[in-house]
């Protein structure tokens, strides 16, 4: 599924368009659900996993993107549906 979070193919954080990585907002065991439901965003290498400001190392950024994902999902679904899917409430 296409991202439900982002229309533009650019880094979500700095908006650059070079060397983008596809990041699964809910990763680990939830990676497949992210892929299926469109919880994906584009990030440049720096904001993904190639520096300490990357989402995989910066807990705050990670939570911020997860909250954004939940917020967008809840435009068309209930909170209960989100929690059933992801197992947690981030908002
Ligand atoms: Zn970036
Ligand atoms: Zn990632």
d(CA 21, CA 91): 26
Q: pLDDT confidence of 72, banded at 50, 70, 90?
A: very high
CA of 84 to the centre of ligand 1 (A): 31
pTM of the model: 0.95
Contact 34, 40 (CB under 8 A): yes
Crossing angle of helices 79-86 and 59-73, rounded to 10°: 130
State residue 1's pLDDT score: 87
CA of 30 to the centre of ligand 1 (A): 23
CA of 44 to the centre of ligand 1 (A): 4
State residue 24's pLDDT score: 98
């Amino acid at each position: 599924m296409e991202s439900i979070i982002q229309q533009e193919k650019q880094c979500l954080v700095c908006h650059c368009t070079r060397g983008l990585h596809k990041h699964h907002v809910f990763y680990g065991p939830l990676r497949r659900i992210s892929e299926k439901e469109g919880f994906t965003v584009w990030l440049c290498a720096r904001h993904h996993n190639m520096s300490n400001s990357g989402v995989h190392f910066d807990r705050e950024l990670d939570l911020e993107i997860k909250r954004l994902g939940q917020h967008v999902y809840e435009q068309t679904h209930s909170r209960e549906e989100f929690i059933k899917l992801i197992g947690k409430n981030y908002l």
